[in-house]
């Protein structure tokens, strides 16, 4: 098992991603309209997939990863309810589903060839 040497920095980036998702989810107009129906669902899927994938690179323990899955899915649900309380955003079950699918796919991918990307990045950084 490899311990990350720059774990504090990687966690800082992870917390920035969480803050960014909250900001983009609650700001009145986060992204321009792409002209496609439900194009925002791809954004939800990717955002939550990247978030889970990032933290899965930091925490290798299965129990911690499972806790992250639950945490990020619950975060997506909470954000939808908060959006529903605003007069400029909407509550959508489809967004919750897209968030959850992104988290689950990243969780699965983190157990394959993408399991130790940050470990490999650190090895390259340290070589230089």
How far out from the chain centre does Cα 114 lie?
A: 15
Q: Considering the entire predicted model, what is its pTM?
A: 0.90
Question: pLDDT tens digits for 100-120?
Answer: 999 999 999 999 878 888 988
Question: pLDDT tens digits for 27-55?
Answer: 987 666 666 667 789 999 999 999 999 99
Domain ranges of the chain: 41-127
Angle at which helices 7-26 and 39-58 pack, to 10 degrees? Answer: 160
- CB-side neighbour CA atoms (13 Å) of 25: 26
* Mean pLDDT computed over every residue of the chain: 91
Quick one: which of 54, 26, 48 has its CA closest to 100?
48
């Amino acid at each position: 098992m490899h311990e990350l040497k720059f774990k504090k920095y990687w966690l800082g980036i992870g917390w920035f991603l969480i803050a960014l998702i909250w900001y983009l989810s609650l700001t009145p107009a986060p992204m321009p309209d792409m002209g496609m129906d439900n194009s925002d669902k791809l954004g939800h899927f990717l955002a939550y997939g990247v978030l889970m994938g990032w933290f899965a690179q930091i925490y290798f323990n299965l129990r911690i990863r499972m806790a992250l899955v639950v945490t990020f899915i619950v975060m997506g649900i909470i954000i939808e309810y908060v959006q529903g309380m605003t007069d400029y955003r909407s509550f959508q079950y489809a967004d919750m589903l897209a968030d959850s699918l992104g988290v689950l796919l990243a969780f699965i991918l983190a157990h394959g060839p993408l399991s130790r990307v940050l470990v490999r990045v650190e090895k390259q950084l340290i070589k230089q």
